Amino acid sequence: MKEHTDTPEKKPRGFAAMDPARQREIASKGGRIAHLRGNAHEFTPEEAREAGRKGGQTVSKDRKHMARIGRLGGEARGHGQRTPGEEGSTESQPPHQ
């Protein structure tokens, strides 16, 4: 029996093989029809809050990710701020709040 060592390249089929613009067009029509028929789900504020809480809990379990985004936020916040002794600086950035 002949063994195959290399697998054939998987090509997208159906919806995934379509042009992204065509995908958006079809999805948009589906969304509009669902709303017209009244069977499209719309989140209540409570449902949205609960979904956000669950997502936040899941993301915060990844400590490396949280450290990285915290570091990026700190760098962005400190960008362009004056250090003591730079009173004559031409960069006039309002402090972030």
Q: What would the pLDDT profile of 37-83 be if each residue is shown by its tens digit? A: 988 888 899 999 999 999 999 988 999 999 999 999 998 888 766 55
pTM above 0.75, yes or no: no
Do residues 91 and 80 touch, judged by C-beta distance below 8 A? Answer: yes
pLDDT at 4: 61
Distance CA 11, CA 85 (A): 61
Residue 80, number of CB atoms within 10 A of its CB: 13
Q: Using 50, 70 and 90 to split pLDDT, how confident is the model at 96?
A: low
Find, among 27, 5, 6, the residue nearest to 16 by Cα.
Answer: 27
The C-alpha atoms of residue 65 and residue 56 are separated, in whole angstroms, by 12
